[in-house]
Amino acid sequence: MSLLLRTRQLSVRFGGLCALDGVELELGAGEILGLIGPNGAGKTTLLNVLSGFQRPTVGEVELDGRTITRWDAPRRARAGISRTFQDVRLFEEMSVQENCEVAVVGCGGRRSTARTQATQALELLDLQGSAHVLARDLPYGLQRRVGLARALCARPRVLLLDEPAAGLNDDESAAMAETVRAIHAELGCGVVVIEHDVRMILGLSHRVHVLDHGVTLRVGSPDEIRTDPDVVTAYLGEEVHA
């Protein structure tokens, strides 16, 4: 497995609070990496550092072996790192299509390219029928799909997903897992996905990275993670069966 993205001894402090402490995350090319842990473990902070929304206090981020720690978010997006947000953050007064085109233009793409890539992303997520609907008029489940479509428009090499199934019901969560699989198959990108739905994340991921209180508790295959005594104690509560 060739390494696509990695962190070295990453720490983030907010005043006296250590949100991340010496975290070494590795994402292989074409890998789906699950990122799990209890509330406040540092998962979103880590995604923020990877996407350039948060500067680390200490440590480095590397893409293809190149240090990108000081690159801002737009530069990382141009280099192929795309993300979604836990709270979606669409432009509510824009149509679904426009929300997607903005992502490409914002990365320096031409309008014609933006139109083509937005249309393709909407097709991939089965959202063509909603292309001209204003984002604010969509039900919540579809808004989450648009957030994902927007992240795909720039054809990322690294896709960072912050709780894509948050607030979805069981059927919608299962559909979201299928969608992430389909995106991965289509684009072949590396994916880091934060998710509290343990069954979903263990079924979806090739490997799982477990954070607890800002430190790495364990990294392993889904089978190793679901039965690991420390992970069960800190997070799962009980062994999770496939």
Ligand X SMILES: Nc1ncnc2c1ncn2[C@@H]1O[C@H](COP(=O)(O)OP(=O)(O)OP(=O)(O)O)[C@@H](O)[C@H]1O
Is residue 207 involved in binding ligand X (CB under 6 A)?
Answer: no
At residue 170's C-alpha, the angle toward residues 145 and 92, to 5°, is 25
Task: Select 19 or 160, whichever has its Cβ closest to ligand X.
Answer: 19
Site mask, ligand X, residues 17-56, x = CB under 6 A?
x-x-----------------x-xxxxxxx-----------
Q: How far is the CB of 19 from ligand X (least distance, A)?
A: 4
| Footprint (CB under 6 A) of ligand X, residues 172-201 | none
Q: How far is the CB of 11 from ligand X (least distance, A)?
A: 12
User: Segment contacting ligand X (CB under 6 A): 12-20, 58-66, 129-137, 222-230?
Assistant: 12-20
Task: Select 73 or 105, whichever has its Cβ closest to ligand X.
Answer: 73
Q: How far is the CB of 127 from ligand X (least distance, A)?
A: 26
Task: Select 114 or 234, whichever has its Cβ closest to ligand X.
Answer: 234
Task: Select 19 or 225, whichever has its Cβ closest to ligand X.
Answer: 19
Q: How far is the CB of 37 from ligand X (least distance, A)?
A: 6
Kindly determine how many residues on this chain lie close enough to bind ligand X according to the rule CB under 6 A: 11
Q: How far is the CB of 39 from ligand X (least distance, A)?
A: 4
Q: Are 190 and 34 in contact (CB under 8 A)?
A: no
Task: Select 3 or 18, whichever has its Cβ closest to ligand X.
Answer: 18
- What does the alpha-carbon distance between residue 4 and residue 12 come to, in Å, rounded to a whole number? 22
Task: Select 163 or 228, whichever has its Cβ closest to ligand X.
Answer: 163
Footprint of ligand X (CB under 6 A): 14, 17, 19, 37, 39-45
